[in-house]
Amino acid sequence: MEKTKKAYEIVIDSIKEQIMDQELVLGQSLPPEREISEKLGVSRNSVREALKILTVMGVVSSRQGAGNYISGNFKGYMVDALSMMFMLDQLDYDQINQIRIGLEMRAYALAVKYAESKDIIELQEYVNALDQSTDDEEKAMYDKKIHYAIAKASGNVLIMNILDALSDVIDIFISEMRREILRTEKRKGMLQEAHKQIVECLLKRDVVNGQKALMEHFEMIDKIIHKELERKSQ
């Protein structure tokens, strides 16, 4: 016996179908709640419930005074879901970091193949800005920009969005450790040298040595973070 759909599920399915049929596209406004309600024969409360669920999923967002629209904010949905898994002890730093490293290594290989001159110029600008900065928070920002730029240069939107979400989740739980990572001049120098090698190898289209520099970068950070996590658990 087929299960009877709940009213809010009818609304969600209708919006999904319209997206699949390209009747609704990214950035397009949804009809008013009253119109959706009348068209589908459901209450406005059911429409509101459906829109809340789609908002949590990252499909729909709302603008003040302009109603709801198709946003595709899936990164926000991933960050919320992964953060909750982290808080419920279903994920730990190592598990998130393993996925991040695997995806970044793949992103780098794709970037070596597909990066355009503008992508490499952007990366060089971030590395230079990081080198000249004397502010630890600013350095952390440029470090994130470098890794995001590599993901963007890969040309793979899914990798880019997942890596961006993973980076945000890691930041939520180890933000205070960034100062420890950059605490000594020796560490700062080693990290910056790794960044330079990563960009230079990208320019030379050298995937092997570029990935080697990327892995050394991750291993150094991983070692510092594990040391801090162990210290805090004592």
Distance CA 191, CA 164 (A): 20
Q: Do 28 and 126 belong together in one domain?
A: no
Q: Do 66 and 92 belong together in one domain?
A: no
Distance CA 212, CA 130 (A): 21
Q: Do 93 and 158 belong together in one domain?
A: yes
Residue at which a domain ends, from 72, 90, 119: 72
In this predicted model, what pLDDT tens digit does every residue of 197-232 receive, in sequence order?
A: 999 999 999 999 999 999 999 998 888 888 877 777
Q: Do 54 and 87 belong together in one domain?
A: no
Domain membership of residue 2 (yes or no) is no
% of residues, the chain, pLDDT over 90: 53
Residue count of the chain = 234
Residue 176: predicted pLDDT: 63
Residue 164 half-sphere exposure, CB side, CA atoms within 13 Å? 17
Q: Do 144 and 86 belong together in one domain?
A: yes
- The average confidence (pLDDT) of the chain is 88
Q: Higher confidence at residue 54 or residue 186?
A: 54
Residue at which a domain ends, from 72, 91, 110: 72
Q: Do 22 and 93 belong together in one domain?
A: no
Task: Quote the pTM value.
Answer: 0.76
In this predicted model, what pLDDT tens digit does every residue of 155-199 receive, in sequence order?
A: 999 999 899 999 888 887 776 666 667 667 787 788 889 999 999
Residue at which a domain ends, from 72, 94, 127: 72
Q: Do 88 and 192 belong together in one domain?
A: yes
Q: What is the CATH number of the domain that holds 30?
A: 1.10.10.10
Q: Do 115 and 215 belong together in one domain?
A: yes
Q: How many domains does the chain have?
A: 2
Residue 14: predicted pLDDT: 95
Domain membership of residue 1 (yes or no) is no
Other residues' Cβ atoms within 10 Å of the Cβ of residue 27: 9
Q: What is the CATH number of the domain that holds 92?
A: 1.20.120.530
pLDDT at 1 over 50: no
Residue 2: predicted pLDDT: 53
Q: Do 213 and 111 belong together in one domain?
A: yes
Q: Do 147 and 202 belong together in one domain?
A: yes
Residue 72: predicted pLDDT: 84
In this predicted model, what pLDDT tens digit does every residue of 19-42 receive, in sequence order?
A: 999 899 999 999 999 999 999 999
Instruction: Please give the structure tokens belonging to residue 47.
Output: 């429409």
- Tell me the residue range of the domain where 86 lies: 76-233
Q: Do 67 and 116 belong together in one domain?
A: no
Q: Higher confidence at residue 11 or residue 187?
A: 11
Sole residue written with tokens 């909750």: 84
Among candidate residues 71, 56, 12, the one with its CA nearest the CA of residue 36: 12
In this predicted model, what pLDDT tens digit does every residue of 89-130 receive, in sequence order?
A: 888 888 988 999 999 999 999 999 999 999 999 999 999 998
Q: Do 133 and 154 belong together in one domain?
A: yes
Residue 152: predicted pLDDT: 94
214-222: long-range contacts, CB 8 A cutoff, minimum separation 24: 214/104, 214/105, 214/108, 215/101, 215/105, 217/191, 218/97, 218/101, 218/104, 220/187, 220/190, 220/191, 220/194, 221/181, 221/191, 222/97
Domain membership of residue 101 (yes or no) is yes
